[in-house]
């Protein structure tokens, strides 16, 4: 049996030649080994750099590698990297090297991580004002109240003078005249005011959320719906529509109606399902004349934050049938 050695890569290579027969020791085996010293390239860490890097989420880890040709190697080396954690991406600069002669060449592997998006505190909404009863005064009621006051005052004056019938009669007549005047004087029209109707107002008319990591829920922002009319505001529905409705969610305390002079709060959160600008519209259906009430919603999604941990980044360099790999360590704090 003749065995030839044709290494496909540099370094120690090994194998096994086996024979199957009817001897007592089955199978017969022969260990093979050899060292490849053909044309190729070696990968090493550049002086001053390290194969192990530690960064804080949001920073970029850089690895400087040296590619040294051997045995007269000449060709193009293409580099890729894999193993980047969630929210991180790995890039090689340059993506390929044209190696000729005996000079070593350098490439950089950059692993960019993503920080947790900073979300400023959202000021708390002012508490809803309690519904108040408003008295609508006109001359009729003003006269009636004035007459009642004068009547009580005159009764106090004449209480001790019950023996003076002339003054008592005059007092009684005066009270009757004042009450008659307060009730309208026996004529004239009575103001009935506007017919009952609701009036809806929203504040603010738009909500803009800060940048949020993809899949992360933002703090709640609120919209106040106020009924400034003199009849109940019926709520027929509150929903989110528009370009990216699934990125925004609403909860509310409005129920099926808002009493005259009352209000309710609608809370909105932003959870981006993709990166980039995201938008939607909050729609409030009611029985006001300007139905529906609309609120513009906007936010920006950024990649998921890179979780803390230690990861193995694999750099693969390929030139024809030659394949070399190097493992790099990345620790994210």
Q: What confidence tier does 138 reach under pLDDT thresholds 50, 70, 90? A: very low
pLDDT in tens, 217-249: 999 999 999 999 999 999 999 999 999 999 999
pTM: 0.60
Longest dimension (CA), the chain: 153
Contact 42, 318 (CB under 8 A): no
Q: Are 63 and 73 in contact (CB under 8 A)?
A: no
Instruction: Give how far Cα 66 sits from Cα of 112, 116, 304, Å.
Output: 21, 34, 32
Three-state DSSP class for residue 262: coil
Range of weakest confidence among 89-103, 106-120, 166-180, 274-288 = 166-180
Separation of alpha carbons 82 and 97, rounded Å: 19
Strand locations in 121-178, DSSP E? none
Predicted confidence (pLDDT) per residue in 200-218, tens digit: 999 999 999 999 999 999 9
Rounded Cα distance between 79 and 92, Å, is 7
How does pLDDT run across 17-60, given as a tens digit for each residue? Answer: 887 777 766 667 788 888 766 678 999 999 999 999 999 999 99
Question: In angstroms, rounded to a whole number, what is the distance separating the alpha carbons of residues 271 and 287?
Answer: 31
Q: How many other CB atoms sit within 10 Å of the CB of residue 202?
A: 17
How far is 299 from 216, CA to CA, in rounded Å? Answer: 12
Where are the alpha helices (H) located in 159-279, listed in sequence order? 165-182
Tokens 């060449």 found at: 105
Rg (CA), the chain: 43
Burial class (CB in 10 A: 0-12, 13-18, 19+), 129: exposed
Per-residue pLDDT of 160-202, as tens digits, reads: 555 555 555 555 556 555 555 555 555 555 556 678 999 999 9
Query: pLDDT tens digit string along 250-272?
Result: 999 999 999 999 999 999 999 99
């Amino acid at each position: 049996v003749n065995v030839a050695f044709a290494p496909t890569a540099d370094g120690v290579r090994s194998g096994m030649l086996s024979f199957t027969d009817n001897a007592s020791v089955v199978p017969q085996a022969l260990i093979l080994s050899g060292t490849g010293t053909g044309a190729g390239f070696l990968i090493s860490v550049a002086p001053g750099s390290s194969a192990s890097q530690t960064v804080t989420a949001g920073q970029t880890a850089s690895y400087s590698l040296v590619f040294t040709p051997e045995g007269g190697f000449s060709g193009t080396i293409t580099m890729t990297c894999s193993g980047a954690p969630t929210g991180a991406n790995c890039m090689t600069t340059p993506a390929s090297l044209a190696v000729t002669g005996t000079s070593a060449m350098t490439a950089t592997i950059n692993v960019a991580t993503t920080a947790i998006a900073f979300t400023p505190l959202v000021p708390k909404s002012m508490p809803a004002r309690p519904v108040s009863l408003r008295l609508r005064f006109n001359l009729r009621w003003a006269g009636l109240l004035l007459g009642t006051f004068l009547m009580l005052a005159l009764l106090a004056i004449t209480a001790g003078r019950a023996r003076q019938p002339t003054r008592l009669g005059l007092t009684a007549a005066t009270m009757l005249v004042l009450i008659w005047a307060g009730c309208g004087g026996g004529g004239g029209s009575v103001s009935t005011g506007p017919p009952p109707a609701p009036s809806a107002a929203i504040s603010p008319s738009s909500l803009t959320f800060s940048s949020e990591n993809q899949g992360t829920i933002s703090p709640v922002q609120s919209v106040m719906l106020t009924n400034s009319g003199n009849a109940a505001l019926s709520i027929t529905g509150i929903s989110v529509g528009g370009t990216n409705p699934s990125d925004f969610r609403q909860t509310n305390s409005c129920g099926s109606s808002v009493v005259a002079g009352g209000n309710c709060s609608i809370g909105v959160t932003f959870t981006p399902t993709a990166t980039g600008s995201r938008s939607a519209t909050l729609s409030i259906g009611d029985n006001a004349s300007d139905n529906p009430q609309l609120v513009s919603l906007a936010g920006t999604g950024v990649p998921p934050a890179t979780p803390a941990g230690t990861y193995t980044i694999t750099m693969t360099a390929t030139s024809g049938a030659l394949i070399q790999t190097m493992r790099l360590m990345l620790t994210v704090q």
